Amino acid sequence: MIDDFADNGLLAKTIEGFVAREPQRIMASKITESIKKQQSLVVEAGTGTGKTFAYLVPALRSDKKVILSTGSKNLQEQLFSKDLPIIKKALNYTGKVSLLKGRSNYLCLERLYHQYAAAGDLNKELRVDLARVKNWSIKTKDGDISKCANVTEENAIWTILTSTNESCLGSDCEHYNDCYVVKARKRALNADIVVVNHHLFLADIVVKDTGFGELIPKADVMIFDEAHQLPDLACHYFGQQLNSRQLFDLSKQIMLCYRTEVKDMSQLQQCADKLQKSVQDLRIIVSQQAPKGNLRYLLSQESIKNELSYLFDALNFCHEILLLGLGRSTTLDNCFERVNQYILLLKRLSETKVMGFSYWYESTPNYFIFALTPLSVSDKFAELLVERKGSWIFTSATLSVDNQLGYFTKRLGLINADSLILESPFDYQHQTILCVPRYIPSPNEKGNAEKLVEILLPVIEANNGRCFFLCTSYAMVNALAKQFRELIQLPVLVQGETSKIKLLEQFIQSGNALLIATSSFWEGIDVRGDTLSCVIIDKLPFISPEDPLIKARMEDCQMQGGDAFDEVQLPEAVITLKQGVGRLIRHHDDRGAIIICDNRLVMRPYGATFINSLPPSPRTRDVNKVINFLLTKS
């Protein structure tokens, strides 16, 4: 393993531009050891360590079945299409590699043919898209919807033409042998390396618990990149949810079944209509509440209670009618199972007095979701590690708080895991400067945006844009955008005005832009070179204590005698801030300034926890020093 990463090692000889890095070699060596000993390992690898190659080489060298899980579909594609081929070529690896996505990424032939038989139900635009998908379905080999050139992934037609675990007919489906999900799973079963993402991995575990439809094969080695996302994602997946789309989809399937397969059961139309109307009425009344909040409070309101009782009535009516047609159609049988499942789930969500869970909802005018989320998944995850023996490797650039990994390991129940913290090889002392400006307003002070613009405008102009302004709320994004557009000649790009990918393209192409954004730009964004040389953060990213899940975790922590701020709010904010700051330096030649507009960083005792968790940049409170640093060439 040492030879692979040495100055004259195999990677240096075969990969153009490869630079030997000691932290990368240490990480690879530790992962190799953990795989041999079948141990769990947690590694925080600072930005620039080269962690992807550090886990890929041991994975491919291991001669074992390996699952590689990443934080998102985009990272999954990058790993599969870019990073893995490089290492495969360098090591002359001859094993099979497979990419596996969730069901919603593959065209469902059953739904396609069903929908085609009743296309009159769709509006004109969707009928055009349906025809395009039908033409594409004749040519595609893997049914991956991202490869359908003339219908985008965001198109509404895909929610109609893809299946879920609930709606899938499994081996009873007449298209089972041609099913793209089945084919993808077969490729994964036969592969040595399978690339998935965290959402799919966790969804698969939950599906396995219910005993059907699993996709991911068993493996000897499980490697999780961007592992800091896992605890929160696991909480959501080990919880339960019911949303309006599921209910509308069920109504539609019952209607389609009546129109195409069981045409003599006119009561199917009646029960489908009743279900659709009850969901619409509930959606309207829920949308009049706050966009998200406590489900316990929501379900205690008389108006909501009444609409919920109508929904129960509609589901029970569907149950009665579908029962009469059992055995006549596999689709009908599947709808019957789903009705029973949703009745039980709605009852479970209505029992809001059960302890150990956060009950919450979210809504828009078009959509609602009711959910319960466990406050801890440590026991569940620890059981998983015992049940699936092998090596479990967790890595990210942001796992530690104040140079300790305990917050992460405790949340996932990784009691016996080995651990390692590797500092970034970047020279932050010379490549960066960190500033908490003097005279900045308090985070929630009235007119905050105007004052921040006044203080920071000279920095942004001196740097000729090339700046990310990362905010903790959309309200701040919009307020800053309005101010900067009135005062600055540089391009001002704003999250929400176009897609994330297009915004990034515009930012890089312009070379002098100010990009103002919130949550989704705090991580997973890689802009190298002079294009980005200043990252400004509006305030410390504490999650609101009114957030239902955080509130429930804080209450649970207090009940156990803990300090909710120190044990829940603070570590979450530290990890998020580390992600935001990490956008700046992505390469040895990068150089720039980090500006955090929050006096609490220097005025409150807990500020030291944030500072100790960030890269060791020189610090100042003088924005003029920041301007001098940015104008001075290294």
pLDDT in tens, 107-122: 999 999 888 877 667 8
pLDDT score for 513 = 96
**From the CB of residue 501, how many other CB atoms can be counted at a distance below 10 Å?**
9
Bigger pLDDT: 587 vs 58: 58
Position 251 pLDDT exceeds 70:
yes
pLDDT at 211 > cutoff 50: no
CA 603 to chain CA mean position, Å = 33
d(CA 316, CA 271): 9
Q: Evaluate the CA torsion angle 553, 559, 561, 565 in order and state its sign.
A: positive
DSSP-based three-state secondary structure for 380: helix
Instruction: Report CA-CA distances (Å) from 299 to 345, 351, 438, 590.
Output: 15, 10, 47, 52
| pLDDT exceeds 80 at position 92 | yes
Q: Is 590 helix (H, G, I), strand (E, B) or coil?
A: coil
What is the average pLDDT across 298-306?
Answer: 94
Q: Is the pLDDT of residue 127 over 60?
A: yes
Mean pLDDT of 236-256: 93
Q: Residue range 339-354: average pLDDT?
A: 93
Residue 436 CB partners (closer than 8 Å, separation 6+): 595, 596, 597, 598, 599, 601, 602, 619, 621
- pLDDT grade for 106, boundaries at 50, 70 and 90: very high
HEC profile of 533-567:
CEEEECCCCCCCCCCHHHHHHHHHHHHCCCCHHHH
The closest alpha carbon to 533, from 602, 633, 614, 452, belongs to 633
pLDDT at 36 over 90: yes
Position 101 pLDDT exceeds 50: yes
The type of residue at 289 is Q
**Predicted confidence (pLDDT) at residue 213 exceeds the cutoff of 70:** no
Higher pLDDT among residues 321 and 560, named by residue:
321
pLDDT per position as a tens digit, 592-602: 999 999 999 99
| Per-residue pLDDT at 567 exceeds 60 | yes
Residue 194 has pLDDT above 50, yes or no: yes
Over residues 380-397, the mean pLDDT reads: 92
Region 124-137: mean pLDDT is: 91
pLDDT of residue 634: 55
The mean predicted confidence, pLDDT, of the chain is 92
Of the pLDDT bands very low, low, confident and very high (cuts 50, 70, 90), residue 203 is confident
At 444, the pLDDT band (50, 70, 90 cuts) reads confident
Mean pLDDT over 27-49 rounds to: 95
- DSSP conformation class of 48: T
Say which CATH architecture domain 428-631 belongs to.
3-Layer(aba) Sandwich (3.40)
Q: Closest Cα to residue 347, out of 317, 372, 319?
A: 372
Task: Provide the pLDDT for residue 309.
Answer: 96
CATH architecture, domain 2-95+192-237+377-422: 3-Layer(aba) Sandwich (3.40)
CA gap 381, 414 in Å, rounded: 8
Place of tokens 């001859």: 94
Amino acid at 206: V
How sure is the predictor about 165, in pLDDT bands with cuts at 50, 70 and 90? confident
pLDDT for position 381: 92
- Cite the residue boundaries of each domain of the chain with CATH code 3.40.50.300: 2-95+192-237+377-422, 428-631
Given a cut of 90, whether residue 464 has pLDDT beyond it is: yes
DSSP calls for 155-216:
-THHHHHS--TTT--GGGSTTGGG-HHHHHHHHHHH-SEEEEEHHHHHHHHHHHHHTS---S
To the nearest whole percent, how much of the chain has pLDDT over 70? 98
pLDDT of residue 74: 85
Tokens of 634: 């290294």
State phi, psi for 500 to the nearest 5 degrees: -60, -45
pTM for this predicted structure: 0.89
Higher pLDDT, 9 or 601: 601
Task: Name the phi and psi angles at 164, rounded to 5.
Answer: -120, 170
Tokens of 5: 């990463």
| Selection from 400, 30, 16, 70 nearest residue 223 by Cα | 70
pLDDT digits (tens, 9 = 90+) for 514-548: 999 998 899 888 898 899 999 999 999 999 887 87
Report the pLDDT averaged over residues 558-565: 88
